[in-house]
Amino acid sequence: MNEFPDITIIAKALSSSSKMKILDELMDYKGHTTTELARASQITPQTVTHHLNEFLNNNWIRMGKSGRFHYFFLTNTDVAQLLEQLSPISPQKRARSLQRTLDLEKDELFRTCYDHMAGHIGVLITRSLIDKKYLDSTFHPTKSGGTFLKETLDIDIQNLHHLKRQFTTRCLDWSERQHHVGGTLGHALFLSFEEQKFVVPHKNIKRALVLTPTGDNFLQKELDIKL
């Protein structure tokens, strides 16, 4: 029989700003080298390596190799959700520059939360899916929702159920203080929006998304969202 979960391991892993900087970089669902993480987090490669080893031991990340480079990925979706849920109750720091303020505004408008859509527009999409009764209050697709997802976004929810991951989650958005849809369903929505060129990554701001004119037209026509 296993002992009770040791949550002190989680507390230790989140106990320093340098660790949090690394995890924040990995929240974009992409692979990063030690050098990239050190540069982005403004800490030494040695410190990054030490923290990455801790995350590997916790099964929070995985390492992939391509040629002579090693890439690290955040693979534990529960960790991503935990970080997003802790953000609303964390003390807020003032932006140190006008440029940082502008970047934060774009993040709060539309961004990725690990592998799904978040921010103001992400929450609007979720609320519209619920208002139109495509999702129920637990963020599961209704019968009409399954039809909508298949016919308009080419998402087959039956295939999603076969994946080894939680099908859908109510993920608390740190900037909106409301929930957006996460899990496998949230990821499928994001992939569909990307494939149909409704959204593109911001060129300069990590995790920020840009809604394209095609995407704006889709939101207005299909979800009654006018920005």
- Flag whether 96 is in a domain: no
pLDDT the model gives residue 95: 46
Put simply, whether the predicted model's pTM sits higher than 0.75 gets the answer: no
Answer yes or no: do 110 and 71 share one domain.
Answer: no
Tens-place pLDDT, residues 114-149: 889 999 999 999 999 999 999 999 999 999 999 999
- Flag whether 95 is in a domain: no
- Flag whether 2 is in a domain: no
Whether the Cβ atoms of residue 208 and residue 111 lie closer than 8 Å to each other: yes
- Flag whether 165 is in a domain: yes
Tokens standing for residue 115: 């592998």
Tens-place pLDDT, residues 201-220: 988 888 899 999 999 999 99
Residues 188, 190, 195, 198, CA torsion sign: positive
